[in-house]
Amino acid sequence: MATGQAAATATGAEREALDRAIALALRGPRTHNPQVGCVVLGADGTVLAEGHHRGAGTVHAEVDALSQLAPGAARGATAVVTLEPCDHVGRTGPCSEALIAAGVARVVYAVSDPGTASSGGAARLAAAGVDVVRSPDDRAEAVVADWCFAMRHGRPHVTVKWAQSLDGRAAAADGSSRWITGERARAHVHAQRAAHDAIAVGTGTVLADDPALTARTDDPSAPQPLPVVVGARDVPADARVRAHPRGLVQLEGAPDVVLAALWREHGVQTLYVEGGPTLASALLAAGLVDAIHCYVAPTLLGGGRTALGDLGIATIADRLLLDDVALEHLGDDLLLTATIRPAATAAKEG
């Protein structure tokens, strides 16, 4: 094979190493930086070193693995990594240069880096005479899918959730809303909280319902979402959310400003928005919602306390259309999940 020219596919040993690299990647935290794993193989396919990224400001997976080897031990070796080696100077140096300096002869990676500043590592390696192979893998894609989304959009992936009666009400006339749905639906909500990086409500919800914003599941080791309150009104000193183990984050401003701050300042990749109607509607109206979770209870409430507020829709032609609609029974309740159809697509089909 000519120097710098990639082989068509990864070898069997390299695919096994990628399996291991994916497992290593999951050891790292979900932060501003992606979860990445790396395995260094000798010429005979034996594992020389392993590494993974441990969070913002720490060495990247490739450098972590190389650091375990004596000088020169990686010369002629193959690095198998879940994400394309970075090619920029951040808190640490470029992984592409570290691999080149170590004398690595071949790099196999699964996912291309979507960053405008960090991408280009594969091209840099190939230009230096390293054989570079992209070996796509759905599992590796899934590990960094949320990070890739945030990198591309500059904000977290947003899921808006609400619970409602069959006639679309979120509360009774006196404001009481516990509990519209049953135990299975509420347990599902807590599992979703644990699956997201952060959970957000507006100040109106804090003042009306005093939520704890914790994930209460059967697994005591389940992660807790970062609690976020959006709005300018003060959160009472005795509010339950102030006792959250992650510490309260309060933000105010336009929806796009709030979301950008959650990604840029707090590394939030996925956001679960639980209300109230003002916050949910503002995000929907701004086109900043990617998915909805609507829990529907077999009950009628009437009155004016609707689950959503004004979306700025004046005519039926401007309605928000949904895709990937699915229904799931949760006891007596129904869960409807869907994604928001992109405006450009909806306009074409309209």
Torsional sign, CA 315, 316, 321, 325: positive
> Which two tokens mark 185?
């639906």
CA–CA separation, 278 vs 162, rounded Å? Answer: 12
Tell me 313's DSSP state.
-
- Collapse the DSSP code of 50 into the 3-class scheme (helix H, G, I; strand E, B; otherwise coil) and give the result: strand
Cα pseudo-dihedral 79, 80, 81, 84, rounded to 10 = 70
Q: Indicate the residue type of 36.
A: V
Please list, residue by residue across 105-135, b when 16 or more beta carbons sit within 10 angstroms of its beta carbon and e when fewer do.
bbbbbbbebbbeebbbbbebbbebebbbbbb
CA distances from 116 to 77, 156, 280, 337 (A): 28, 17, 31, 32
Tell me 350's DSSP state.
-
Q: Choose the catalytic residue: 62, 97, 252, 328.
A: 62
Nearest to 4, CA basis, from 131, 167, 133, 139 = 131
Q: What share of the chain is helix, strand, coil (3-state, %, to 5)?
A: 30, 25, 45
| 196 close to 161: Cβ distance less than 8 angstroms | no
**Could you confirm whether 62 is annotated as catalytic?**
yes
| 38 close to 62: Cβ distance less than 8 angstroms | yes
CA–CA separation, 72 vs 210, rounded Å? Answer: 60
Which of the residues are catalytic? Answer: 62
